[in-house]
Amino acid sequence: MTEQEQQATPEEESPAVEPESVDGVHEEPEAVEAPAPEPEPEPDYKDRWLRSEAELDNVRKRARRDVSAAESRGVARLAKELLPALDNLERALAAAEAQPENRDHHLTDGIRLVQSELLGALARVGIEPESPKGEQFDPHRHEALAQQPVEGAEPGTIVEVYSAGYRIRAGAADEMVLRPARVVVAS
């Protein structure tokens, strides 16, 4: 094929076809009508609204749950920081009351009052002390410092508590150990 043939115009390549004529009248080919596209169904607005309402309700519930969990974590963190001070108050009282002349001293009464106020404040936010003497040892709630044979005590029973444990109520039935009780267990 030569260059001239390659550069031929489209008119030269395919001559126009005239529609057939009958009695000298040109007939146009009939246009075939394509079926009209079906109109898209209208969206179900009520369904969309119900789904949006349900999603919004779920977001609100999740937000409430997250706020409650954050509050519990904050309370637990503060309580963990206060527990050593509460232990020191208990030790101070034990040392002061060990001396007969200080047993009924007004300073001892003041320390006892501060201790009871701190325990009351912790109880109001769901934190409770636990002194498990006489109970069965539970490694999830207690920390064994020693084991010793004790007559009349069943093995695995807590015979002495060095420091009280504390737990927090996280929900209606949930409890979380803030600090395990430090104990001596019968062997």
Instruction: Tabulate helix, strand, coil % of the chain (nearest 5).
Output: 45, 20, 35
DSSP 8-state class, residue 147: E
Please, are residues 137 and 158 in contact by the beta-carbon 8 Å criterion? yes
Residue pLDDT, tens place only, 58-88: 999 999 999 988 988 898 899 999 999 999 9
Please, are residues 164 and 181 in contact by the beta-carbon 8 Å criterion? yes
Residues 46-186, CATH architecture? Roll (2.30)
User: How does residue 117 score in pLDDT terms, banded at 50, 70 and 90?
Assistant: very high
Per-domain residue ranges for the chain?
Answer: 46-186
DSSP 8-state class, residue 132: -
Cut 0.95: pTM above it: no
pLDDT score for 26? 56
pLDDT score for 107? 82
User: In this structure, what are the phi and psi dihedrals at residue 167, rounded to the nearest 5 degrees?
Assistant: -135, 155
Rounded Cα gap, residues 95 and 177, in angstroms? 28
pLDDT score for 4? 53
Strand, coil or helix: 154: coil
Rounded Cα gap, residues 47 and 25, in angstroms? 60
Please, are residues 127 and 86 in contact by the beta-carbon 8 Å criterion? no
pLDDT score for 28? 60
